Structure 1
């Protein structure tokens, strides 16, 4: 725990936590906010585009901000992203028409990018890459658990404006904390690098990075599919009432998320000690077995909860292991671009996963979605055999020093 409690690491954790809480304060309230100002019918039409807008814009702009973090420093990009999203949270207070809310969310997606910048900063400056990335993942997951509750309480006891103002205060806190971090000033060679496409070719020219992005996409698709198949599974259970279905959805995702938060740092430490190549097969096989049991127990909510919580326990930091694969041998002035592209691919995978799950459910049943995810994890098991070029350099960690 000594690495984690170092002051810069604690501040970076708090920056990501505050940003994540702010994001998830706002996101679940958007459908209700639309209904409050435009009515239920218009809210039904606009909810999908409004929620998708920030993800789509973020996917497009993430490599751009990643490139700029390589040129000018990840700390500067954290300050920029936190300050800009503070402004967009405040804009929501005065945005009432659906088209205005959509425009604000598009702008939010364009100017965001704090988490990839924080990951870049952590890898560059804090050492123990696996543990640093896992700690930030835990911060983001914790925010996803706390944010909806905080937003719901504020909206219910005060109003939507109070919830959006709280989100703005949290991102303002993140801005101030980011400003206190030590600058990670890139060398002059990084500053002289010209052109986004030039940098893109410089960091992805190795074949193993395309394979890494394939892993990122697969994991994101699996995660997106789970978000759809669990509620639909419970919806198809004739023994459950509407209220009990909603209760079980909340219980399953809350317990799974809490399990992931509890286990996250452990997997990061294991990756630093034994290497991602040793840990990833354990994660993929264990996840396949855990999610595969849902094929047989999905008719029982308690057993489905056990299956998915075990899956979350094992797979929670699979993404971190793949990021270590992507960064293996990458030049330091390409970390921002790689992590920006990682964010883009993740967002696209999260968008595709629900669509695929819906199509499979419509054609067959929910059991086939669980089976497909389990087989997908098994298919990823040989990933450690994909060798990086011999000239690649291992990521330096505290354990190597």
Structure 2
């Protein structure tokens, strides 16, 4: 048993390193899509609209495909789905380096949505590689890798964009994805499930009906949607907001990357603290505290007092937000059977991607008609309300399995 646990933790660490590199590639690119759209010739007054479209189309298609990839993961293996996603995402990054206008880029983003699925496959393998009582620790390690990637990526992308433009960033990201995929194919084994329940072939509607029978799971899926929608309101406009505070878009990408990386450093420090607290006091309590803390800081960031104000507050966001998603994943793990874990994470990905789709579109409307700072105001209030409701409904719920 001890040997199996050690093997499981080796898989957790390999997947964590892979996810960290994937996050670096992702955050080298995503915060700077508005900058790339400017390079492609989009006019400044149309930038918020095209940023919202470029974000949302990928997430819309990913939301449709996530349950499909989840069912295939349960039937044919999570490792196979991770390899499939890694190859296709790598190809999409390489394709992005050669587009000539915003319409071609929109097609690439649509293909990226189709290719999506690496993270839920990796998270499913992590959750199945360790005993249930160690899920919080494993998810914390995985989140630490994710935060590390989110820390390094924006700064790397910003510096590269300043030096040579965005196209080389896409090429580096594509090659890195191929290397990560090869490492997982060689070194990670398909995890064995503890459940005696056989894997069944089900439709998306049947998966939804099953989720409706598990009220806790249904609430978790709703939280994935709401939290992701609020957070993705911010990603398309961070570089724009930094440019407004700075007074010019020149060098805004590098500056935004540096500020985002600072928040990531604080997140790395707090990851294991939140994971340990969640295992002792309950995952939902961590989720509520993380939401309310993040919302409060976003509310303060909406006040345009300058770059120093914005940057210091970004450090505090890193402290709070890092506890939310691993706790959601851990809460979902202890409330589902391993035989349907891939489909459950697929449903969670669908919820996230729908939130990813709605958030940028809503943000583009708010930014276009009221101003960029109001996006932070609305996001902050939304986070605080959601956090309060989580604390009120689930704050005292222990980490036991509810079916």
For residues 268-295 of structure 1, the C-alpha deviation after alignment (integer angstroms, 9 at most, x for no partner) is 2322343314534443454455555557
Judging changes above 3 Å, is the alpha-carbon distance between structure 1 residues 378 and 227 closer, same or farther for their aligned structure 2 residues? farther
The structure number with the bigger radius of gyration is 1
CA distance in 2, matches of 1:242, 1:348: 33
Match of 1:242, SS state, is coil
1:271 aligns with 2:278: yes
Task: Extract unaligned runs of 5+ from structure 1.
Answer: 394-401
**Which has the higher mean CA deviation after the structures are superposed, 114-123 or 244-253?**
244-253
Equivalent residue, structure 2, for 1:257: 264
Q: Quote the residue 2:116 is aligned against.
A: 112
Within 2, Cα distance between the matches of 1:161 and 1:356? 28
Name the SS of the counterpart of 2:144 in structure 1: helix
Deviation, structure 1 residue 107: 1.7
Counterparts of 1:228 and 1:161 in 2: how far apart (Å)? 18
Q: Say yes or no: does 1:16 pair with 2:22.
A: no
Answering whether residue 94 of structure 2 is matched by residue 90 of structure 1, we say yes
1:325 Cα deviation after fit: 2.7
Shift of the 138–189 alpha-carbon distance from structure 1 to 2, 3 Å rule, reads same
Distance 1:4 1:145, change over 3 A: farther
Deviation at 1:183, TM superposition (A): 1.4
Q: Secondary structure at the match of 2:189?
A: coil
Alpha-carbon contact 1:268-1:317 (below 8 Å) kept:
yes
Which of 146, 152, 160 is the aligned partner of 1:146? 152
Q: Distance in 1 between matches of 2:241 and 2:33?
A: 25
- The match for 1:342 is 348
In the alignment of these two chains, the number of paired residues is 388
> What TM-score comes out, normalization by structure 2 length?
0.78
- Conservation of the 8 A alpha-carbon contact between 1:88 and 1:107: yes
Q: How is 1:21-32 mapped onto 2 (pairs within 5 angstroms)?
A: 21-27=24-30, 30=33
Matched residue, 1:397? none
User: 2:24 touches 2:152 (CA, 8 Å); kept in 1?
Assistant: yes
**1:283-362 superposed matches below 5 A:** 283-287=290-294, 290-291=297-298, 299=305, 301-356=307-362
Structure 1 range deviating more: 65-74 or 303-312 = 303-312
Counterparts of 1:2-401 in structure 2 under 5 Å? 6-27=9-30, 30=33, 36=39, 39-41=41-43, 44=47, 48-96=52-100, 98-127=102-131, 128-151=134-157, 153-154=159-160, 162-179=168-185, 180-184=187-191, 190-227=198-235, 241-242=247-248, 246=252, 249-250=256-257, 252-287=259-294, 290-291=297-298, 299=305, 301-356=307-362, 366=374, 369=378, 370-384=380-394, 392=402
From the superposition, tell whether residues 368 and 203 of structure 1 become closer, same or farther in structure 2 (CA, over 3 Å).
Answer: closer
2-structure distance, mates of 1:192, 1:376 = 35
TM-score, reference length from structure 1: 0.79
CA contact (8 A) 1:58 1:344 kept: yes
Deviation of 1:211 (Å): 1.7
The Cα of 1:16 is off from its aligned counterpart by: 0.7
1:166-195 alpha-carbon deviations (Å, 9 max, x no partner): 212211111112112111256896444343
Q: Deviations over 1:96-155 (max 9, x none)?
A: 454443323222210221001110000011342122223323323332333344445556
| Runs (5+) with no aligned partner, structure 2 | none
Contact 1:203-1:331 within 8 A present in 2 as well:
no
Higher mean C-alpha deviation, range 251-260 or range 167-176: 251-260
Q: CA deviation at 1:358?
A: 6.3
Structure 1 residues 81 and 188: CA distance shift in structure 2, 3 A: farther
User: Taking structure 1 as reference, are residues 222 and 163 closer, same or farther at Cα in structure 2, changes over 3 Å only?
Assistant: closer
